[in-house]
Amino acid sequence: MINTPLFETKNCLLTEIDYETDPERDSLLSQDLRYARYLNRAIPKPLSKSEIKKIYEKLEKSVEDGSSTIHFAIRERKNPQLVGFARFNWILWNHAVAAITIAIGEPSCRGKIEAELIAHLLNYAFRELNLYRVDCYISQYESELEKALIQNGFSCDVTLKEADFFNNQYWNQLIYGITHDDWKNGAEIHVG
Amino acid sequence: MLDNEMNLRGELVQLVPVEKDRDSKVFTQWRRNSEYSRLLNGDPAIQFSAKSIEKWLEKNELSSELVYFAIRKLADQQIIGEITLDDIKPFSTNVFVGISIGEAPLWGKGFGSDAMRLILRYAFTILNVHRVSLTVFGYNQRAIRSYEKVGFHHEGKLVNWLNRDGQRWDLHFMGILKSDWEQLIKFE
């Protein structure tokens, strides 16, 4: 039997989008511009429920059209309201590579759940999607995320100097990556 | 003072609008060369009809996220390649450039470098971006040398990112800041 849970970690659930409750919650979370930047890269701003719905619809259409994106709404197990999202972007099946995005909007969760989510996403990437390599593009100011990536065996492979502008300053964009072999030979973490 | 005429003309080439009627067939012909197709991107090398390329070009006309030029040789007005700036957003800090010379006999003769200098000038002085980035496959050493010549710096690589022709290859990232480019052109 295969009984490793793919969609739950020790503290979180990886679920589908809930069109009933998530737009209002994401609208509230988008008041934090750090999180809003993940929802709408073009113009980071607090978003209305209707704008959030449009983002979801566009996202789900891209999932249907191209199968190069996999999206999970992230909820806490103890209180299953939305706290952020995790996503596989740019999955190139012919090269078995993808990039992950982890965006946590709930302030009380930030810095606390990223490590277990990344461990779980790697398990999903290498044991379900059969990927060879996973990358994660982050801004230099995302220190909680950076710490969680390093904890999971990622190494910083690329530094795009001053590629991001946020809060009145330029930040390096960092690309962290891990291959299946690196993960297997040491970084593999048993998911809860 | 502004020059009397501002255009995208270099020493060897000029960047001109892509004309879907004129160029779609040419672009199709270039893609029959699998060596060329495998330099373009990570997608599987496949053939596109002129009609499908024309449709794609039409979809991107007046796009505010993509700048797409044809590269025209000054000597005889031949269309020899394509060049793009991608990921343009309002308040873009960083854009990605992609370039290809479709006419294989013209590879390594300086046309790409000339086109790249023009697009950098355009990106920094007209679009006012802070930096320009690119990615290039590890097996495209000729392109890497050309990008170094124009002023791009190596910023790292994703090891074994690409699986092609029975082996894995690195994806290199290169970039140039506006401030570096300004220093560079002072000495040109």
- Each residue of B30-63: pLDDT tens digit? 999 999 999 999 998 999 999 999 999 999 998 8
Distance from CA of A170 to the nearest CA of B (A): 9
Q: Which of B163, B170, B176, B178 to mutate to test the interface with A (most CBs of A within 10 A)?
A: B163
Please give chain A's pLDDT, 192 residues, in tens. 888 889 999 999 999 999 999 999 999 999 999 999 999 988 899 999 999 999 999 999 888 877 789 999 999 999 889 999 999 999 999 999 999 999 999 999 999 999 999 999 999 999 999 999 999 999 999 999 999 999 999 999 999 999 999 999 999 999 999 999 999 987 555 444
State the DSSP H helix or E strand holding residue A157, giving kind and residue range, or none if neither: strand A155-166
Cβ pair B133:A160 closer than 8 A: yes
Show the tokens assigned to A162.
């001053």
Q: How far are the Cα atoms of A18, A160, B81, B98, B148 from residue B174, in angstroms, in the given order?
A: 40, 8, 21, 12, 9
Cβ pair A164:B93 closer than 8 A: yes
Cβ pair B160:A92 closer than 8 A: no
Chain B interface residues (partner A, CB cutoff 8 A): 42-44, 89-91, 93-94, 130-131, 133, 153, 155-164, 168, 173, 175, 177
Q: Who's near B165: CB < 8 A, 6+ residues apart?
A: B38
- Which pLDDT score is estimated for A190? 47
Q: Is the pTM of this model over 0.90?
A: yes
Whole-angstrom Cα distance, residue A154 to residue B167?
23
Question: Which position has the token pair 């355009």?
Answer: B122
Q: How far are the Cα atoms of A38, A66, B18, B34 from residue B47, in angstroms, in the given order?
A: 35, 18, 20, 9
Cβ pair A177:B159 closer than 8 A: yes
Band (B127; pLDDT cuts 50, 70, 90):
very high
Which chain A residues are Cβ-neighbours of B130 within 8 angstroms? 162, 165, 170
Q: What sign results for the dihedral spanned by CA atoms A28, A34, A40, A44?
A: positive
Show the tokens assigned to A57.
């619809």
- Which pLDDT score is estimated for A88? 96
CA nearest to A38, candidates A16, A81, A71: A71
Q: What sign results for the dihedral spanned by CA atoms A133, A101, A11, A52?
A: negative
